[in-house]
Structure formats: C-alpha cells, structure tokens
C-alpha cells in the first residue's frame, strides 16, 4: 500500500491523529484522551487534540510515566506499519538516554506496592496490626 508522508516544512496534521499514525497510541481516542489530560505538549505548551502539529515541532509525550521527546519529521494521516510510523519522528538524544536510564532504574528497583491490589485481607490486617502494635 502507498502511504503519503509529507515532509514539507509547512505540512500539518491534528496532534491526536499524528500520535495515532506514529503508533504512540493504539487508537485515536486514546491519543486524544492523553492530549486532554496534558500528557502531550508541543513546544512545551499543553494543547488540545485539534491542535495542528507541524514538521519540525518538538513534541513531549508521556505514556505510562515514560517520557518521550520527539521531533516531527513528517505527517501521515493514515496508520501504516511500524516501519512507516518510525519515519514520522526522531527521538532526541537526551530523551533516549533519560528513557533508557528510567527503564534500567525500574528493572533494578521494583516499586514495593506494585504487587498490592485493593484492600488488605484479614490475614494482611493481622500482620499489619502485629507490626504496628495495634490490637
């Protein structure tokens, strides 16, 4: 299939559509939701999903507390394979090193509460009470 990718300096596309086409999010509505929540910024400024992103813009994206900073190299309004999507942006060197350092930190240091879900069981409660000196 032929994917029309525009790399001209004036080329623009809605940010939610670009994030979806660049495969940062699985659906366009997830991309729009992330933009609404302020997890996506263009040039450091929070934007709305309808804001146009242009070739050459710096976009900051936070996905599951992993931060990306990418430069827009092209726009494409259809979602293609990953090989095509990767040509739409270039991650900055600083962003890549920060992201790798964060991944290494997460691999080495596990969050203690990550395995806990919901309220403590009766058995957990008794253990907590035993250590805290409660009844």
Total-model pTM: 0.77
What is the pLDDT at residue 1? 63
- Three-state SS for the chain is CCCCCECCCCCEEEHHHHHHHCCCCCCHHHHHHHHHCCCEEECCEECCCCCEEECCCEEEEEECCEEEEEEECCECCCCCCHHHHHHHEEECHHHHHHHHHHHHHHHHCCCHHHHCCCCCCHHHHHHHHHHHCCC
Q: What is the pLDDT of residues 95-132, one digit of tens each?
A: 999 999 988 888 888 777 777 788 888 998 999 899 88
Query: Which residues touch 55 (CB under 8 Å, ≥6 apart)?
Result: 6, 7, 8, 9, 10, 11, 12, 72, 73, 74, 75
Q: Residue 11's pLDDT band (boundaries 50, 70, 90)?
A: confident
Q: At residue 134, does pLDDT exceed 70?
A: no
pLDDT at residue 32 above 90? yes
Ranges of each domain in the chain: 12-132
Contacts of 8 (CB under 8 A, 6+ apart): 55
Mean pLDDT of the chain: 89
Per residue in 97-107, pLDDT (tens digit) is 999 998 888 88
Q: Is 31 exposed, middle or buried (0-12, 13-18, 19+ CB in 10 A)?
A: buried
Superfamily of domain 12-132: RNA-binding S4 domain (3.10.290.10)
**CA–CA separation, 96 vs 67, rounded Å?**
9
pLDDT per position as a tens digit, 52-94: 999 999 999 999 888 999 999 999 989 989 999 999 999 999 9
pLDDT of residue 6: 83
What is residue 3's predicted lDDT score, i.e. its pLDDT?
76
The per-residue pLDDT for 88 is: 93
């Amino acid at each position: 299939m032929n994917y029309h990718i525009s790399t001209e300096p004036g080329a623009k596309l809605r940010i939610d559509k670009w994030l979806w086409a660049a495969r940062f999010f699985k659906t366009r509505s997830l991309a729009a939701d992330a933009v609404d929540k302020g997890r996506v910024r263009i040039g450091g400024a929070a934007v709305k999903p309808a804001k146009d992103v242009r070739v050459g813009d710096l976009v900051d994206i936070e996905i599951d507390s992993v931060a990306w900073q990418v430069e827009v190299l092209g726009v494409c309004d259809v979602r293609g394979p990953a090989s095509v999507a990767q040509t739409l942006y270039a991650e900055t060197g600083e962003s890549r090193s920060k992201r790798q350092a964060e991944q290494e930190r997460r691999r080495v240091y596990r969050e203690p509460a990550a395995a806990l879900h919901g309220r403590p069981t009766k058995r957990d409660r008794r253990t907590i009470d035993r250590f805290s000196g409660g009844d």
